[in-house]
Amino acid sequence: MDRRKLLNKQAGISLSGLIVALAIIGVAGIFAMRMVPAYIEYNAIKSGIAQVKSTGGSIREMQQAFNRHTSVNDVEAVRGQDLVFSRDGDEMQISFAYEKRLPLMGNVSLLIDFAGTTDPSGVVAEADSAAR
Rounded Cα distance, 84 and 66, in Å: 12
Q: Is residue 128 part of a domain?
A: no
| pLDDT at residue 132 in the model | 42
94 touches 84 (CB < 8 A)? yes
How much is the pLDDT for 121?
80
Q: What is the mean pLDDT of each run of 10 residues along the chain (132 residues)?
A: 63 86 92 91 94 90 93 90 87 92 87 91 68 44
Burial status of residue 86 (CB atoms within 10 A of its CB: 0-12, 13-18, 19 or more): buried
Q: Name the H helices within the chain.
A: 3-8, 15-55, 59-72
Longest CA pairwise span in the chain (Å)? 81
48 occurs within a structural domain:
yes
Query: 122 lies in a domain?
Result: no
Residue at 2 is within a domain: no
Whole-number Cα distances in Å, 61 to 4, 70, 87: 79, 14, 16
Domain membership of residue 130 (yes or no) is: no
Q: Which domain holds residue 39?
A: 14-117
pLDDT at 130: 47
**What is the pTM (predicted TM-score) of this model?**
0.76
Q: What is the pLDDT of residues 13-40, one digit of tens each?
A: 788 999 999 999 998 998 888 899 999 9
- What is the tally of structural domains in the chain? 1
The pLDDT value recorded for residue 131 is 45
